[in-house]
Structure 1
Amino acid sequence: MTIRTETVHEGVRLLTMDRPHRRNALDAADYQALATAIDAADDDPDVRVSVVTGAGGVFTSGNDIENFQDRTEGVGAGMVLLRALVCARKPIIAAVEGFAIGIGTTMLLHCDFAFAGRATRFRVPFVPLGLCPEGGSSYLLPQVAGLKRATELLMLGDEFDADCAAEAGLINRVVPDGDALEVALERAARLAAAPAESVELTKMLLRRPLRDAVLGTLDVEAVHFGRRRQSEEAQAAFAGFMRR
């Protein structure tokens, strides 16, 4: 089991990406499992809020590159997770430590709260890998970070720190290393104690103006991402990454 689920407080479901030997990189099975866990939390009347984190001091190093090398593998698994995040009715909070790479960064755009340890490093290396933005980031990141900053992060694909992530609107706050989960669980407990319908309605009203545009962007990005992943340029970049 690479996605662990547990109820840690009344009304709070903790979802942990647990694949430390791959720095919690996600393959098709992991995407499906995490999406299923998010959907299950949404459908469980005893759950008020979900917290997503990673085991071993790492959030996630993104998509498993070995999985990307399989040209027969479609983009469906990642889309299942992204749609689950976009369509979730109940709040989702991210507790981020270590690394948040690729979808590990873009999924934060769909979380209602996100807290990161100071030493966390973020990166959206789509262009260096011969790919293009995913996760609705081509729409949402300019909304929260501004067009110039979003262009810099997505087009150059450089690593950036937690302070930059906060300035770009990807996280709520930088916290001391090792404290992200504690802070996330404290916020989750507060939300779980609030009137559930009021919380869900507030999330719906905040997200409603963006939801259709985000879902449409996911579809457009997926078409181009799938084509780029099949390209010789991208496959060469994946092979180079695996030789490191």
Structure 2
Amino acid sequence: MTIRTETIRDGVRLLTMDRPHRRNALDPADYQALATAIEGADSDPDVRVSVLTGAGGVFTSGNDIASFQDVQTEGAGAGMVLLRALVCARKPIIAAVEGFAIGIGTTMLLHCDFAFAGRATRFRVPFVPLGLCPEGGSSYLLPQVAGLKRATELLMLGDQFDADDAAEAGLINRAVPDGDALAVALERAERLAAAPAESVEATKLLLRRPIRDAVLQTLDVESVHFGKRRQSAEAQAAFAGFMRR
């Protein structure tokens, strides 16, 4: 089991990506398991809020590159089921981020309602350096929260950036002392779990409603381009180079 789920406090479900030997990299089975966990929490009447984190001091190093080398799989692959689960969730999701948040580990934060990261966390969306293109709705959402110029810089250059930069770009609420992200996320989760549940869900619906259809449409468009890029010769060469490190 690489996705652990536990109800640790009244109304709060903790979802932990637990594959530390791979820095919690996600393969197709992990994407499906995490999507199932999110959907399960969303449909459980005893759960009011989910907290998403990673084991071993790492959020996630993104997609397992080995699975990208399978050129027979079409589209963006298994990640789409996770992204759609995040977009369609009715209840709040809070991310507690430490260590690394790479690729989809960064873009999934755009779909979380709150996100807190340890100050030493390193973020990166290395799609172009890997011969790919944006995914996770980031081509639509990141310009909205970070501005077009900053989003272009992050998505085209694929450079690493820190938690303060992530906060400034609107990917997280704020940077916190290293090791404190989960505690801060759980404190917010407890407050939400204690609030009137229908009011919380209605507020999330109203906040997300104006962009929901556009995000889902963007996921579909990105998936087509991502699938083509993933099967391209330059992307496969980049993956092979990465695996040789």
Percentage of pairs with the same residue: 90
State whether residues 74 and 227 of structure 2, in contact with CA within 8 Å, keep that contact through their aligned partners in structure 1.
no
- State TM-score, norm by structure 2: 0.99
Taking the aligned partners of 1:225 and 1:77, their CA distance within structure 2 comes to: 12
Taking the aligned partners of 1:5 and 1:170, their CA distance within structure 2 comes to: 24
Aligned with 1:171: secondary structure? Answer: coil
Mark the runs of 5 or more structure 1 residues left unpaired by the alignment: none
Taking the aligned partners of 2:14 and 2:148, their CA distance within structure 1 comes to: 34
State whether residues 92 and 111 of structure 1, in contact with CA within 8 Å, keep that contact through their aligned partners in structure 2.
yes
Give the drift of 1:77.
1.3
Aligned with 2:159: secondary structure? Answer: coil
Kindly provide the CA deviation profile for residues 33-55 of structure 1, in whole angstroms up to 9, marking residues without a partner as x. 00000000011000000000000
Count of residue correspondences: 244
Give the drift of 1:76.
3.6
Taking the aligned partners of 1:161 and 1:225, their CA distance within structure 2 comes to: 26
Give the drift of 1:154.
0.2
Taking the aligned partners of 1:223 and 1:11, their CA distance within structure 2 comes to: 38
Aligned with 1:57: secondary structure? Answer: coil
Give the drift of 1:74.
5.1
Give the drift of 1:116.
0.1
State whether residues 24 and 59 of structure 2, in contact with CA within 8 Å, keep that contact through their aligned partners in structure 1.
yes
Kindly provide the CA deviation profile for residues 23-78 of structure 1, in whole angstroms up to 9, marking residues without a partner as x. 00000000000000000001100000000000000000000000111143653410
Aligned with 2:78: secondary structure? Answer: helix
Kindly provide the CA deviation profile for residues 136-180 of structure 1, in whole angstroms up to 9, marking residues without a partner as x. 000000000000000000000000000000000000010000000
Two-structure CA RMSD over aligned residues (Å): 0.7
State whether residues 58 and 96 of structure 1, in contact with CA within 8 Å, keep that contact through their aligned partners in structure 2.
yes
Taking the aligned partners of 2:90 and 2:3, their CA distance within structure 1 comes to: 20
Taking the aligned partners of 1:14 and 1:233, their CA distance within structure 2 comes to: 39
Taking the aligned partners of 2:99 and 2:114, their CA distance within structure 1 comes to: 18
Aligned with 1:38: secondary structure? Answer: helix
Taking the aligned partners of 2:89 and 2:191, their CA distance within structure 1 comes to: 19
Provide the residue aligned with 1:111 in structure 2. 112
Mark the runs of 5 or more structure 2 residues left unpaired by the alignment: none
Provide the residue aligned with 2:77 in structure 1. 76
State whether residues 77 and 227 of structure 2, in contact with CA within 8 Å, keep that contact through their aligned partners in structure 1.
no
Kindly provide the CA deviation profile for residues 105-140 of structure 1, in whole angstroms up to 9, marking residues without a partner as x. 000000000000000000000000000000000000
Taking the aligned partners of 1:238 and 1:19, their CA distance within structure 2 comes to: 21
Compared CA separation, residues 120 and 103, structure 1 to 2 (3 A): same
Compared CA separation, residues 164 and 110, structure 1 to 2 (3 A): same
> Following TM superposition, where does structure 1 have runs of at least 4 consecutive aligned residues deviating by more than 3 angstroms?
71-74
Taking the aligned partners of 1:167 and 1:118, their CA distance within structure 2 comes to: 13
Compared CA separation, residues 150 and 74, structure 1 to 2 (3 A): closer
State whether residues 67 and 73 of structure 1, in contact with CA within 8 Å, keep that contact through their aligned partners in structure 2.
no
Matched, 1:181 2:182: yes
Provide the residue aligned with 1:21 in structure 2. 21
Give the drift of 1:13.
0.1
Aligned with 1:56: secondary structure? Answer: coil
Q: Which stretch of the first structure deviates more once superposed, 223-232 or 74-83?
A: 74-83
Kindly provide the CA deviation profile for residues 171-224 of structure 1, in whole angstroms up to 9, marking residues without a partner as x. 001000000000000000000000000000000000000000000000000000
Taking the aligned partners of 1:211 and 1:167, their CA distance within structure 2 comes to: 23
Q: Which stretch of the first structure deviates more once superposed, 74-83 or 107-116?
A: 74-83
Q: What pairs up with 1:115-154 in 2 under 5 angstroms?
A: 115-154=116-155
